[in-house]
Every structure is written in structure tokens, then in C-alpha cells.
Amino acid sequence: MKEQNNENEILNNAFYKGSEKKSEKEPVQNDFLKNLIENDEQEGSFDPASALDDVVFSGGAKLQSQRFVEKSRKMSSVSAHLASEKSSAEPEPDIKEPSEPEIEEDSSFVSFESADEEYQPKQTSSSTKKPVKKEKKSSFSKGQKVAISILLIIFIAVLALALTVFLMHYFGKKNTMADNYGDNFRDTIVYNGVTYHYNPDVTSVAFMGVDRETFGLKDELVGTAGQSDVNMVVTINTKTGKSNVIVIPRDVYCDIDKYSHSGKYIGTEKAQLCLAYSYGDGKVTSCTNTVTSIQRILYGVPINTFVALNLDGVAKLNDCIGGVTLVCPNNFADYTAGQSVTLHGDETEAFIRSREHTLKGDENRRERQTAYVKAYVSQAAKMSLQNPSVLRTVYDTGKGYTVTNLTLSRGLFFGTVILSNPAEIMNFNNVVSLKGTLKEDKLHYAQTILDEKAVLETVLDIYYVPEK
């Protein structure tokens, strides 16, 4: 304790000079000490003796405080300055300096010098500087980036279109699978000693042209829906792309299902094919009733798809491909046989609908209809090969004037299959008109009695494959 008091007195004498009485000592006018004391007063009170005591006897425990280290450094500076002052000033009264206490070496004790070198205050997260990452400079110019972006967009668009076409093609094919077989269908037919097997790759679309400007019934009475003046079956081989059109005379006598005005089924009787359409609602049931009669004529082959077109749609479909050019097959109105004709608007309807009121009238009309179908298909196919959107245009144009179960996916499937054989479709000539004998019935209506042998041969040629 005595040693500590001596140290305090030495340090106090460093701050005061002149008077022997402590209370009367005046502050030393020394710039170095003055600045040091002022700085210390600003930071807080500083007791040199207390600081020394902390260093010597605390075992270095307070070295964890940065403030302590700074104060210790200041104390060392004071001691050094005191020594220099003491050597230059007048000799003070002899004061026996206390001997330094022997301090056992402690591993926890750290000298001021070592503290200066080894102590590194822990930096907080706020003072820690994060390394700045240098951005890698792109090797592409702005123009190249724009070009790459455009190509990427085009690629995605083409991929999406291809996927859409694929899915529509897939579901279109799936929906055309034959499942609507007629009552008289036979999977195997033996004819002239040859065995024929039905070809499931062939699908069919029944087409009807109705002699009405609108679809429906008059006064909600069955039998007033109109008649199908045009009856054709379009066949498509989904594997080869080959297509055919079978034209069936409207006056063919066949079995048709008849219904009362209230819609009650009456039975089946022989009548003209065109009347089958009238026994229905003028829409879907009329179409399905007509398809049933057509299947009976064609030995029960499956027909899953139908399209009925009214009179108002004829000119619209004709003009949506820019008109149709053909050669007139017979004399009619102002047209002569062999004449090249380009049909537009209402003249298209007159050309394929009108007939003379004779037994040959319907036959002549059927010849003009056949010539028109050939020309229309060929012209539409050529345009579609140059611009595939033509198929969609034809489909969209006909929607408002048709009753059909032909979906867009199924229509796209048919179109792509047909266009896969461009050489044939651009010069379309695969049209077969069923042959028969034309005569008048008791009421002087025309009727056609089909040649059953010719009909069977047509069916075998299109729908069946001979056994090898």
C-alpha cells in the first residue's frame, strides 16, 4: 500500500510544480500536459494511480477494453515526459524512489508494448467492409443481345405452334377413329373369290347441301326441315393421304327412318335419300338420320363426321378462296359445255343448285356439282400449300352456315393429311358418282335404283384391302 501511495505522489507531482503544499500547487503551464489533461477530461476522469494499479495487479484482465489500452498509452507518455522534465529542471528534494515490486511472471500479463502490437480491437459488422465484386463485362454487344432475344422469341413461338399443331393433329386423329358402324357392316367381305378386309385407316365425312337458307323446322313440325339436295361422302386414308369423293344421287331409293310431326319414331321405309334430312330437327338429328341412310347404301361403313351446309353459305365459301374457275360439263342457262367459267357470289349457288324439271335434270346438276367440287378442292389445296392459314379461313367461314360435329382439331388433321399428298390433291380427280337407273315413280317423282354390284365394287376399292 505504501508503494502505491509513493507512485500516486510521483504522478501527482508530475501534474503540479512549485509549492510544497499540495493544495497550493499551481497547474504546470505545459502544452503537452495541458492538451493531454484536457483530452482526458473530455473523455472522462483519469486517475493515474488507479490505472497503474489496474495494470500491475489486475493480471491484464482489463486489456480487453480498448479504452484501457488508450489510457495506458497516455500514462506511459506522461511518465516519459516527467522523466525528461525532471532531468532538465532544478533538483527536487531527495525522494527515495521505491523499488519496483517483484512481480511473478504471469502468462495473462501483457506489457504495454506487446499490447500495442498484439491487441487488435474486434471490428463490428457495421465497420467491416465487404469486398466489392467486380461485375464481369458481357462479351455481347447491345445489338447482339437484341438479336439473340428476337431469335429466342421466334424459336419459342415456332415451338408453341408446332406443339399446338401436333396436339390438334393427335386429338383430331383420335376423334376420327371408326366407331359408328352401320347395321349392315361387315369386317370381311368375299367377292368374286377374293377376301377383303376392312381398312381402319380410312375415315369418312358425310356432306349435305340443304335447300334452306336457315336451319330448323317450320312451326316445330317434324318433316319440315327441308331436304338434302347434295349428298357426298369424302373419304381420307390417314396413312397414305389419298382422298376420294363419293357422290350419291338425291333421288336414290333407300331405307330411311321416318318420324311423326311430334318426333315419334314411325318406322323404316323406302323413300328418296333427300327426305331423310326432313325427318329430324333440321339440325343434328336431321344430319344423323341422313348419315344412317347413307351408311345403309355403303354397306354399313363407319361415318363419324358430318357437315350440313345451307344455301347462304355456298357463295361465302366460294368467295373466301377468291372464286372458283372450272369447265362447265353440260349446257346450262347461259353456260355451254366445255366453257371455262369463274364463279363468284350468287352465281355459284345457281350453278350447283338449279336443274331442269326433267328426268335428266338432277343428273346434269350432279355433273356440275362434281366439276365444282373438283375445282374447289384443287384450288383450296394450292392456296393452303402456299399459306396454311387458308384451311382455318375456310373452317371459320363455314361455321356460321353449317351444322357439324367437325371440330377444328379434326379439320386440321384432315387438312394436313390431304395436303401430305400434294401432287394428287392439286389435280383432284378422285370423284365417283354412284351409278343406277333413273325412272319416275307413281307420283312422277324421279327415283334412282342403284347398281348394287357397282356400289359394292366402289366400297371395296375405297374401304377394304384384298387379302394377299
Q: Nearest 5°: CA angle at 66, between 65 and 71?
A: 100
Instruction: Determine the 3-state secondary structure of 433 from DSSP.
Output: strand
pLDDT digits (tens, 9 = 90+) for 210-238: 988 778 777 677 777 889 999 999 999 99
Q: Is the pLDDT of residue 196 over 90?
A: yes
In this structure, what DSSP letter does residue 258 have? E
Q: Phi and psi dihedrals of 381, rounded to 5?
A: -65, -45
Residue spans in the chain of domains classed CATH 3.40.630.190: 176-466
In terms of DSSP H, where are the helices of 387-439?
389-399, 408-419, 422-425
Chain segment 343-371, per-residue pLDDT in tens: 999 999 999 988 877 777 888 898 999 99
Largest CA distance in the chain: 165
Highest mean pLDDT among 71-75, 124-128, 223-227: 223-227
Mean pLDDT of 399-426: 84
Cα-to-chain-centroid distance, residue 262: 48
Average pLDDT, the chain: 76
Residues 6 or more apart in contact with residue 66 via CB below 8 angstroms: 121
CA dist 347 and 385 (Å) reads 27
The larger pLDDT score, comparing residue 365 to residue 115, is at 365
At 428-460, the pLDDT tens digits run: 888 999 988 888 877 778 889 999 999 999 999
Q: What is the pLDDT of residue 176?
A: 56
- The CB density around residue 37, as the number of other CB atoms within 10 Å, is 17
Please report the pLDDT score of residue 168 as a whole number. 57
Amino acid 67: pLDDT: 55
**Dihedral of the CA atoms 33, 36, 42, 46 (nearest 10)?**
-90
Tell whether the model's pLDDT for residue 143 goes beyond 60: yes
Contacts of 15 (CB under 8 A, 6+ apart): 27, 28, 33, 37
- pTM for the full predicted model: 0.62
Closest CA to 343 of 319, 309, 374: 319
Q: Do residues 246 and 462 lie in contact, with contact meaning Cβ atoms separated by under 8 Å? A: yes
- pLDDT band at 183; cut points 50, 70, 90: confident
Residue 405 CB-density burial (10 A; 0-12 exposed, 13-18 middle, 19+ buried):
middle
Residue 138, pLDDT score = 59
Q: b/e string for 200-212 if b means 16 or more Cβ within 10 A?
A: eebbbbbbbbbeb
Highest mean pLDDT among 33-37, 90-94, 208-212: 208-212
Please name the CATH architecture into which domain 176-466 falls. Answer: 3-Layer(aba) Sandwich (3.40)
C-alpha cell at 163: 406443339
Percent of the chain with pLDDT over 90: 34
